[in-house]
Amino acid sequence: MASSGSLPAAGTTAPTGDFRVDALLSGTRFGTSGGAEVTFSFVNGLTAPAYQGGYGEVVSELSHAIKTNVRTILKSYIEPLVGLTFTEVSEASGTYGQMRLMFSDAGGQGAYAYAFYPEADDAYNRAEVNSIASDIHLSDAYRDPAVDPRNNFASGPGSHGFTTLIHEIGHALGLKHPGNYNSGPDIAAGPFLPSSLDNLHNTVMTYNLAGSSPTTLMPFDIAALQHLYGAKRVNVGKTTYAFTSTHAFTSGGTAWGGPSPQRLTLVDSGGVDTLNLSALPLTSTGYYIDLRPGGGIAEQSDLNTVTGNTSKGTRFSLDTTIERVINSSSDDTIVANGAVNVFGGYGQAIATGNDIIEGADSRDQLNLSAFASASVGRTRAGSDLVLDLGAERSITIKDYYAAA
């Protein structure tokens, strides 16, 4: 059969020693760890009858809206982060992508969606009609975009259908489930994540779906794919991320997330960066801002204080470091990281709530330049320092005296 695009050699993958990554590795991948070009295509009316699936499926062409979602995920959400280039090819007799996507009746099994891993043997990864490696099947029960909008694959970011597309593409690129949900000869073995981490807060590959649906890959997914294919550097300069909700922000004129409750991941590869939270809406419960790698931003009411998981909001990738924060008008809890942090946003006429800063050290800076020194009250509360800014505004620096 004729093929299109380059044919990167497939390979097996060895454990990394990081359980968060190893729990997602199926053991196979496209190409080398230095990256690869992967072609993808959509089954159409000409090629569907010749499709030779794994379960005797009857397949058909996806809708324009679903194709658009797939292109967005591959080209905008995955390609900028990992050492892969995705090239779309038009299917014709003898010409197919290495990753093929289609509606499917799942051979009468009623499956919602499923995908095949890349194969360790490169012969099975070729863009040929008799290869099912990295093929993605979506239930044809959702052919009508009006059917069950939450689960429909034509629905946009924030829907379960959109998250499922990311999940199945993850399988097609070599990611497995992080939990022992299935058994059988075709199911990848462990290791698995502990139950406290096996959730959408960390990975789109989970079956534990509590909370809002992710719009992007989550931190563990990004780390795993970057291990398989290498990492691209993004946002390497001095970048400001301006938030209008915990799940919507802009940077450099690009908007991420949206108004509907969802999860997403912010990735930053370098530079001195700022979170501008001044436009976050006032909330009675306040916000939780964890600047540590893998941390993120959430409303306090969405935070599980035992596990650290959140039901919606923005996560940071495992290698993202944010240095500066402009706080919100609500009561913020801010957790410092190992960089030199600058905490700002405080002014005479600015409502800033009663904030708490945790984990800061002598290198960090608190910008109170808008206040005369004598106007700021200072009180010791155990090992904490409490600064009274007046007008029902305060800053509690946890363990200030313990550090001293």
Give 214-265 pLDDT, tens digit per residue: 999 999 999 999 999 999 999 999 999 999 999 999 999 999 999 999 999 9
CB 336 within 8 A of CB 360: yes
Report the alpha-carbon distance of residue 220 to residue 226 in Å, rounded. 10
In order of 268, 269, 272, 322, the CA distances from 236 in angstroms are: 7, 5, 9, 12
The three-point CA angle 237-241-242 to 5° equals 145
Helix ranges (H only) for 218-309 are 219-229
3-state secondary structure of 42: strand
Token pair for 82: 């990992």
The label of the residue with tokens 């960066």 reads 273
Spatial distance between the Cα atoms of 206 and 128, rounded to a whole number of angstroms: 30
Among 15-24, 32-41, 209-218, the least confident range: 32-41
pLDDT of residue 305: 85
pLDDT of residue 8: 41
134 C-beta neighbours (distance < 10 Å), count: 28
pLDDT in tens, 340-397: 999 999 999 999 999 999 999 999 999 999 999 999 999 999 999 999 999 999 999 9
> Which residues does residue 137 pair with via DSSP β-bridges, in sequence order?
102, 114
**Residue where the block lists tokens 């390979």:** 11
Please name which of 37, 41, 42, 43 lies closest in space to residue 7, comparing C-alpha atoms.
37
Of the candidates 239, 265, 242, which has an alpha carbon nearest to the alpha carbon of residue 163?
Answer: 265
Looking at residue 12, its pLDDT comes to 67
Q: What is the pLDDT of residues 67-90, one digit of tens each?
A: 999 999 999 999 999 999 999 999
Task: Tell me what pLDDT residue 49 has.
Answer: 94
Q: How far apart are the C-alpha atoms of 5 and 127, rounded to whole Å? A: 9
* Percent of all residues in the chain with a pLDDT value above 90, rounded to a whole number: 82
pLDDT band of 404, cuts 50, 70, 90: low
pLDDT exceeds cutoff 90 at 123: no
Cα 164 to Cα 97, 155, 202, 226: the distances in Å are 20, 11, 15, 20
Measured CA to CA, the distance from residue 344 to residue 30 in angstroms comes to 45
User: What's the confidence (pLDDT) of residue 117?
Assistant: 92
Say how many C-beta atoms besides its own lie within 10 A of residue 128's C-beta: 17
- Return the percent helix, strand and coil in the chain, to nearest 5: 15, 25, 55
State residue 151 phi and psi, 5-degree precision: -100, -5
Instruction: Give the pLDDT confidence score for residue 177 in this predicted structure.
Output: 96
How would you class 195 by CB atoms within 10 Å of its CB: exposed for 0-12, middle for 13-18, buried for 19 or more? exposed
| Edge-to-edge strands, sheet with 248-251 | 254-257, 248-251, 240-245, 274-276, 324-326, 342-344, 365-366
Taking residues 35-44, report their average pLDDT: 91
Six-digit token string for 230: 């290498």
pLDDT at 4: 32
Q: Domain spanning 11-229 has what CATH number?
A: 3.40.390.10
Q: Per the confidence metrics, is the pTM higher than 0.75?
A: yes
Model pLDDT, residue 255:
96
Nearest to 331 by CA among 399, 400, 245, 395: 395
Answer yes or no: is pLDDT of 330 > 90: yes
Q: 321: pLDDT confidence band, cut at 50, 70 and 90?
A: very high
* Residue 185 confidence (pLDDT) above 60: no
Quick check: 324 pLDDT over 80? Answer: yes
Position 198 pLDDT exceeds 70: yes
Residue with tokens 């708490």: 356
Q: What is the pLDDT of residue 7?
A: 35
CA 187, CA 176: separation in Å to the nearest integer? 9
Residue 10 has pLDDT above 60, yes or no: no
Q: What are the structural domain ranges in the chain?
A: 11-229, 240-397
Report residue 172's pLDDT band, with 50, 70 and 90 as the boundaries: very high
The model's confidence at residue 183, banded by pLDDT at 50, 70 and 90, is low
Joined tokens for residue 71: 């292109």
How far is residue 314's CA from residue 330's CA, in Å, rounded to a whole number?
18
Average pLDDT over the chain, rounded to whole?
Answer: 92
Given this model, what pLDDT does residue 119 score? 80
Q: Is the pLDDT of residue 188 over 80?
A: no
For residue 333, what are the β-bridge partners? 288, 356
